[in-house]
């Protein structure tokens, strides 16, 4: 498994129109892989992050909220977004291009943040950002033109500078598993250095995914 240092901004509400860089461990549609997109942004941020100094000790400190959250997160609570496959997302074999699935995941993130009242634009205006640093995808079955599906997002954990989300994509209405994914979100300061998850972000995530209300 390759580990990629590039950070991908979430401040977008549309599927990518730029080329994607795909890293995979081997051939076949059922392998794990990591995606970086779009190429231009990924290249720029990758080099900025690699040039950043090692995070100081304070950034490695876990808040009280973070250390106690594992016992409160509901493992059965998901945020769900329904979508439909478009012809422009297909490859030459008539199935959804592998790179597009990362866009589905990002769209699910955007909708989740919007639902929680977390404004990416507000973060940017303050000189900070919320970014996707890693995505691990496992392809189970392909989607085809016109297929309806749901992206399900679940909070895995909040630890230090990382907020880990788990995802599944399932067909509708039969809920057949299409894809499993795990993504890592990080908060960045104005110099693109990872910093502790912002309190307003961790609080809203924990409130939603710990709630007993469906």
Residue 59 in contact with residue 194, Cβ under 8 Å? yes
Q: 173: cis peptide before it, omega within 30°?
A: yes
- Cα 176 off chain centre by: 21
Closest listed residue to residue 109, CA positions, set 161, 189, 186, 50: 186
Catalytic residue among 70, 91, 189, 191: 91
CA dist., res. 175 & res. 146, Å (int): 15
Is 213 among the catalytic positions? no
- Could you give the 3-state DSSP secondary structure of residue 111? helix
Residues annotated catalytic, as ranges: 91
């Amino acid at each position: 498994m390759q580990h990629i240092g590039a950070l991908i901004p979430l401040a977008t509400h549309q599927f990518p129109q730029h080329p994607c860089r795909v890293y995979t461990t081997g051939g076949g549609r059922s392998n794990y892989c990591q995606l970086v997109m779009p190429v231009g942004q990924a290249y720029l941020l990758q080099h900025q992050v690699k040039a950043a100094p090692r995070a100081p000790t304070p950034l490695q400190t876990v808040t009280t909220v973070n250390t106690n959250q594992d016992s409160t997160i509901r493992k059965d609570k998901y945020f769900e977004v329904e979508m439909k496959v478009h012809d422009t997302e297909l490859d030459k074999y008539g199935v959804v291009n592998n790179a597009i699935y990362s866009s589905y995941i990002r769209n699910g993130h955007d909708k989740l943040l919007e639902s929680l009242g977390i404004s990416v634009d507000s973060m940017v205006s303050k000189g900070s950002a919320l970014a996707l640093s890693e995505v691990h995808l496992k392809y189970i079955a392909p989607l085809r033109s016109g297929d309806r599906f749901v992206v399900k997002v679940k909070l895995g954990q909040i630890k230090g500078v990382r907020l880990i989300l788990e995802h599944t994509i399932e067909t509708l209405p039969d809920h057949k598993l299409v894809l499993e994914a795990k993504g890592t979100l990080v908060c960045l300061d104005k110099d693109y250095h990872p910093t502790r998850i912002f309190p307003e972000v961790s609080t809203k995530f924990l409130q939603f995914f710990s709630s007993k209300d469906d």
